[in-house]
């Protein structure tokens, strides 16, 4: 039984919870009744909520945004998102959701989230995130502090535009 819900997990804690690919940022949670569909397994919408929840915490923890909406932070836009649903999950299943940035360009980056339950990766989300200037809504460069964090902690790689 997982005791530590919605709090960051270390790589060792992730390994202890049977996460096959520990990530720089992760937390555990439990499937709620409201997240089930008519077939009595987790509704696809619930996965998107879980991915959004970790994404917001990750951006906050990595210093990209505190979601102040005061014009000082970039606007964060999901340009593209793709989810692979690999194994079903049911009520009361305990799971770990992970987050990492894998690649980046001048003003966008690729984010990967995974859901792990009972030693299986049950879903993978790949998203392209674009940063916009809060005042002009034009693309804006990734802040240097965030870039340094994804390079050092996530092992992200720069990808040149072709």
Residue-wise pLDDT tens digits, 38-60: 999 999 999 999 999 999 999 99
Question: Over 70: is that where the pLDDT of 129 sits?
Answer: yes
Average pLDDT over residues 33-37: 97
Pairing, β 120-132 against β 108-117: antiparallel
CB-neighbour burial class of residue 79 (10 A; exposed 0-12, middle 13-18, buried 19+)? exposed
Q: Which CATH superfamily is domain 11-158 in?
A: Hotdog Thioesterase (3.10.129.10)
For 68-97, write each residue's pLDDT tens digit: 989 999 999 999 999 999 999 999 999 999
CB 150 within 8 A of CB 112: no
Q: Looking at the predicted structure, is the pLDDT value of residue 162 above 80?
A: no
CA atoms of 13 and 140, how far apart (whole Å)? 36
63: left (phi over 0), alpha (psi -120 to 50) or beta: left
Is residue 22 predicted with pLDDT exceeding 80?
yes
Residue 40 Ramachandran class (φ > 0 left, ψ -120 to 50 alpha, else beta): left
Higher pLDDT, 131 or 4: 131
What pLDDT, on the 0 to 100 scale, is given for residue 2? 65
Q: Under a CB-based contact definition with an 8 Å cutoff, are residues 89 and 122 in contact?
A: yes
DSSP string, 81-144: EEEEE-S---TT-EEEEEEEEEEE-SSEEEEEEEEEETTEEEEEEEEEEEEE-TTT-SB-PPPH
Q: What is the pLDDT of residue 4?
A: 83
Q: What global pTM score does this model have?
A: 0.94
**95-114 pLDDT, tens digit each:** 999 999 999 999 999 999 99
In this predicted structure, what is the pLDDT of residue 3? 73
Q: Exposure of 12 by Cβ count < 10 A (0-12 exposed, 13-18 middle, 19+ buried)?
A: exposed
Confidence band (pLDDT; 50, 70, 90) for 130?
very high
Domains of the chain, by residue range, sit at 11-158
> Residues 68-73: contacts with CB within 8 Å, 24+ apart?
71/134, 71/135, 72/134, 73/134
Band of pLDDT at residue 161, cut at 50, 70 and 90: confident
């Amino acid at each position: 039984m997982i005791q530590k819900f919605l709090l960051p997990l270390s790589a060792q804690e992730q390994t202890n919870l049977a996460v096959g690919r520990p990530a720089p940022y992760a937390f555990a949670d439990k499937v709620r009744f409201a997240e089930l569909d008519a077939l009595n397994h987790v509704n696809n919408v619930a996965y998107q909520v879980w991915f959004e929840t970790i994404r917001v915490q990750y951006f906050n923890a990595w210093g990209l945004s505190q979601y102040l909406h005061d014009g000082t932070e970039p606007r964060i836009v999901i340009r593209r998102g793709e989810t692979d649903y690999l194994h079903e999950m049911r009520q009361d299943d305990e799971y770990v959701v992970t987050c990492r940035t894998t690649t980046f360009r001048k003003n966008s980056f690729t984010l990967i989230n995974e859901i792990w339950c009972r030693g299986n990766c049950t879903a993978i989300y790949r998203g392209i995130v674009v940063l916009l200037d809060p005042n002009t809504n034009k693309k804006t460069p990734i802040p240097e502090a965030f870039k340094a964090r994804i390079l050092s902690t996530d092992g992200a790689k720069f990808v040149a535009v072709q």
